[in-house]
Structure 1
Amino acid sequence: MTTSPTPVPSPPTPAHELPAPGPGWTPACVVFDCDGILMDTEANWAQVQRLVSESYGLEYTEALERRMMGWSAADVATAIAEAAQADRATVYADVLRTEEETLRGQIVPLPGALETVRAFAERLPVAVASNSTSTILGVKLEQAGFVPHLSTWVSSEDVPHGKPAPDIYAEAVRRLGFTPGQALAVEDSVVGATSAVAAGLVVVAVPSVPDGDPVPAHHRAAALTDPAFRELMTRWLG
């Protein structure tokens, strides 16, 4: 196995240090990413990419794993199909099947995730914006216990283009009834934060790979349980 999938082109990443909004700014709604922010499924998604890549005779390297973090199933399938000269629809079906199989019994909320979402939801409308497919996203949110606290959720199948395009975040904010400038996004990856920034949201980065590429954001924290993040919540929620 010597060939790797060709990365799907993505928009240029903004400078990772963005000016924070003025001290009087507070969010009118909050949109959370799912994988790597609310639940520990990034390892499962990497395993899906590895299994499908190798099933088509492709090499799956650590560098490629980092590059593909946050990609939608559609983009992963396209990259693998192009590299392996395989039928894209067949590869996509294999990605979805493998993802469903690897997720069984593996959906675990990250520390502080349920408490954080619940705290915001008690004061503000909350949504989830994810590159997962609609069915997989619903399963994740239901099994992890987030559904009762959410006003809506948006998958990559609900919009023309997944992250890093702005569509998913723009649609989530639209459904909540606000403008992007009134919304807060909580993201862990470059792909996801690029999407939120492009849509016009204020972004808090909580990187799932601390030594990875810098995640563009207006604020940043090490985890949802980080005192820095809790300080921001206190400022915004009182």
Structure 2
Amino acid sequence: MPDSIFPGREFAAFLFDMDGTILTSIAAAERVWAAWARGHGLDVEAFLPTIHGVRAVETVRRLNLPGVDAVAEAEAITLAEIAEVRGIEAIPSAAGFLAGLPAGRWAIVTSAPRALAERRLQAAGLPIPPLMVTAEDVEHGKPAPDCFLLAARLLGVHPAECLVFEDTAAGIAAAEAAGAAVVVVTATHAHSFRTPHPTIADYAGLAGTVGQAGSLALSIH
């Protein structure tokens, strides 16, 4: 019999962050952002850890660079990221895990713009789900809970009945604020990550088990 990561608990839907959670695009993203940072005289090594898990426009905006239009810069960065897909690949066993989930019971909830999200999913060989909440869909990005609240509403479920798969502090905070359960994916973490939530290295040996009423459980086989 399979074991559950959340014993005795089932969920109405699974919500997945994208970058670092079902695919890795760190190398591609950091090549683009490093070039941008050097062009603006930033300390690249100190800057790069700040780009993950939040929308590009917010990354640029919080720098308060004089004379810089954050929206225009973010759009240019996104175009560069769409063109740079070298090294993008799926997190191990993510494709099979997603393929085993019932349609309409899961969504991708990402800080990336839709065009970039679709490009990266295609590069990684992962499916584009019927529902994907992206940067353009909410006024406030992660760590605000708006994106997860919207995904739950569009799926017709309560946020507290959702399990969120995340990898960054901003995403975890957003899921917590939405009232969802969280599992942390550590596949791309270079250092240990302290969290009160369950962690998984990747999706090997995992399955979304469907109950008689259509509920989902995260099971280990």
Taking structure 2 as the reference length, the TM-score comes to 0.82
The separation in 2 between residues aligned to 1:35 and 1:184, in whole angstroms, is: 17
Higher relative contact order (CA 8 A, sep 6+): 2
Q: CA offset at residue 86 of structure 1?
A: 2.4
Identify the structure with the greater strand proportion. Answer: 2
User: Which of 152, 155, 176 is the aligned partner of 2:155?
Assistant: 176
**Which residue number in structure 1 is paired with residue 120 of structure 2?**
140
Report if the CA contact (8 A) 2:82-2:115 is conserved. Answer: no
Q: Distance in 1 between matches of 2:127 and 2:208?
A: 21
Pick the structure with more helix per residue: 1
Aligned residue identity for 2:52: M
Partner of 2:14: 30
Question: 2 CA distance for matches of 1:67 and 1:92?
Answer: 15
Contact 2:57 2:73 (8 Å CA) reproduced: no
> Partners of 1:66 and 1:193 in 2: how far apart?
16
Q: CA offset at residue 89 of structure 1?
A: 3.7
Distance 2:130 2:174 in 1: 20
CA distance in 2, matches of 1:217, 1:48: 33
Structure 1 residue ranges without an equivalent (≥5): 1-20
Long gaps (5+) in structure 2: 210-215
1:78 maps to which residue? 61
Equivalent residues of 1:52, 1:94 under 8 A apart: no
- Counting only pairs closer than 5 Å after superposition, residues 80-229 of structure 1 correspond to structure 2 as 80=63, 82-83=64-65, 85-103=67-85, 105-121=86-102, 125-147=105-127, 150-207=129-186, 208-214=188-194, 216=195, 218-225=197-204, 227=205
Distance of aligned partners of 1:213 and 1:60 in 2 relative to their CA distance in 1, 3 Å threshold: farther
Aligned-residue offset at 1:76: 2.0
For 1:119 and 1:93, the matched residues in 2 are separated by 35
Identity %: 26
How far apart in 1 are the matches of 2:112 and 2:38? 21
**What secondary structure, in the 3-state scheme, does the structure 1 residue paired with 2:165 have?**
strand
Q: Is the 8 A contact 1:70 1:189 kept in 2?
A: yes
| Alpha-carbon distance in structure 1 between the residues aligned to 2:6 and 2:191 | 29
CA deviation after TM superposition for structure 1 residue 70, in Å: 1.3
Residue identity matched to 1:146 = L
Alignment match, 1:69: 52
Q: CA RMSD in A?
A: 2.6
Write the distance in 2 (CA, Å) between the matches of 1:161 and 1:212: 28
Q: 1:8 maps to what in 2? A: none
User: Secondary structure of 2:170's match?
Assistant: helix
Aligned residue type for 1:43: A
Q: What per-residue deviation string (whole Å, max 9, x for no partner) do you get for residues 23-82 of structure 1? A: 321011111110011111122222222111111122212x432233212111122134x2
Instruction: Report if aligned partners of 1:162, 1:168 keep a CA contact under 8 Å in 2.
Output: yes
Q: Per-residue deviation at 1:178?
A: 0.2
Contact 1:205 1:217 in 2 (8 A): no
Aligned to 1:16: none
